[in-house]
Amino acid sequence: TAVIDHFHHAVGLDAGDHTTMLAWEVVDAEPLAGRRVGDDPAPVIFRGVGQTVDPGNELVMQVLSAESNAYSAFPADPIAAYPMAVGRATLLVTALQARNNARVVFSGSLDLFSDRFFRAPVLCSRCGTQYARSGNEAFATALGQWVCGQRGVVRVKSVTHHLVGGGGVGGGVGVALPEAYTINDHVHYEIEIEELRAGEWVPFEREDVQLDFHRIDPFVRKTLERRPVPGGGGRVVYATEFQLPDVIGVFKFLVEYRQPGFQFLRSQLDVSVVPYRHDEYERFILAAYPYYASAFSMMGGLFVFSFVFLYHRESKAKQE
Amino acid sequence: MAPSTSQQQQGLADMVGGLLRDYDKRTPSRLKVVDAYLAYILFTGIFQFIYCALVGTFPFNSFLSGFLSCVASFILAVNLRIQVNPENKSQFAISPERAFADFLFCHVILHLTVMNFMG
């Protein structure tokens, strides 16, 4: 079978059966495709077999999809049954990133990677648009770099957390990480993430890294801010400050970054949150001041009464 | 013939007035001092209870400590009054001074406990 598109085939390259088709639908993942949504790139010329994918599969990415007029069938035969793949569900190139960050790309066309297609100008049959050069070379380069582990590779460089203002049980700024905090503490957390670009580890640039303060469920979830390290020479950290919940237990600072095209990133630090010590409560409670006053007034009244009682003389009228 | 309402009210007023006059004449002034002290403790206790009813029972241990210090002081003072009253001389073999010494000793223990429980 081949993928056939009667409306978007490449005039000049096609042999007449409209299997040399054009595709614009590239996945919205910059590491994978080399471009972002909103660019106006040239289409990719494709001649080959279509694919379908289980929609329940979380790890597969649909890198290149056919236009809505495409379908998958034997070019020489009349169509006897409903095609396996129709329209945008006809996938041309798919990619899989396993949970251990291993990457596989399935491409239905070898010609996609050929020099001839790289250099060919594009004329779309029905839509009439023209491009001086196809988008194959940029697409294939990005895809090849992605699958070989040169793009979309990230790592955690360092993680720290401490009380705002320094300190913490068992640690502090510049020392080992604290092992325990008290409830309602204000803590600061920062993580440094790096990305591999052109063989060099550079600071990560995305804005949507989130932190979970997690104990079975996340009690706090914050988007980390990108902040330059003062005096750090271009280094950038993702940091935030927040208040611990009024709950005791063993929590984890959890950063999980799972975006299409990037490696799965996970950083977990466990920390205990302990209740107030007996001397961390307020010493005198405002609502109890009348009770304090009454207890002391009882003692004062006793003192005065003793004097009066002991030194009392019966009045003269009684002494007869 | 049953007395009318105004006659009943008049009778009640007479009774109370008579009670007060009799109290004034018949009780030694020493006991009146104790009675005044008792009235003071009673007023303090009532005030605390009303405050707790209005504001709520937080912190409960402080309320209990303050209120029970009033109650216990009241009880100790009542006991002192009984033991010091000359009319009860036949029932007790102890002197008023010994009664007062017991009273003070119990108060020491009471206030220690109250301060401990107050928090």
Report helix, strand or coil for A130.
strand
User: In this complex, do B66 and A291 lie within 8 Å of one another by their Cβ atoms?
Assistant: yes
Among the partner residues B34, B77, B111, nearest to A299 by beta-carbon distance? B111
Q: How far is B47 from chain A (nearest CA, A)?
A: 9
Q: Please write the tens of the pLDDT for every residue from A120-148.
A: 888 887 777 788 888 888 888 889 999 99
Phi and psi, residue A178, nearest 5°: -60, 145
Residue of A285, A298, A312 lying closest to B62 (CB–CB): A285
pLDDT tens column, A226-243: 998 887 777 899 999 999
Name the range with the highest mean pLDDT among A8-17, A211-220, B22-31.
A211-220
What 3-state DSSP class applies to A203?
strand
- DSSP code, position B13: H
Predicted pLDDT of residue A36: 55
The whole-chain average pLDDT of chain A stands at 86
Give percent of chain A above pLDDT 70: 92
pLDDT at A32: 75
- C-beta of residue A134 within 8 angstroms of C-beta of residue A44: yes
Contact A306 B104 (CB under 8 A): yes
Interface of B with A (CB under 8 A): 28-30, 33-34, 37, 40-41, 44-45, 47-48, 51, 55-56, 58-59, 62-63, 65-67, 69-70, 73, 77, 100, 104, 107, 111, 114-115, 118-119
| Residue A320 pLDDT grade (very low, low, confident, very high; cuts 50, 70, 90) | very low
The string of pLDDT tens digits covering residues A264-313 is 999 999 999 999 998 888 889 888 898 999 999 999 999 999 999 888 87
pLDDT tens sequence across A174-218: 567 888 999 999 999 999 999 998 889 999 988 999 999 999 999
Q: Give the tens place of pLDDT for each residue, A21-55.
A: 888 877 777 777 766 555 667 888 889 999 999 98
- What is the distance between the alpha carbons of residues B93 and B83, in angstroms, rounded to a whole number? 9
pLDDT tens sequence across B65-119: 999 999 999 999 999 998 888 887 777 778 888 889 999 999 999 999 999 998 8
Distance from CA of A274 to the nearest CA of B (A): 22
Amino acid identity, position A228: P
Q: Check: CB of residue A165 under 8 Å from CB of residue A185.
A: no
DSSP string, B52-110: HHHH-SSSHHHHHHHHHHHHHHHHHHHHHHHHH-GGGTTT--S-HHHHHHHHHHHHHHH
Size of interface A-B (CB pairs under 8 A): 81
Q: Which of B27, B29, B98, B106 is the best residue to mutate to test the A interface, defined by the most A CB atoms within 10 Å of its own CB? A: B29
Nearest to A309 among B33, B56, B118 (CB): B33
Average pLDDT over chain B reads 87
Chain A residue closest to B29 (CA)?
Answer: A314
What are the chain A neighbours of B62 within 8 Å (beta carbons)?
285, 288, 291-292
* C-beta of residue A122 within 8 angstroms of C-beta of residue A130: yes
Report pLDDT for B50.
Answer: 93
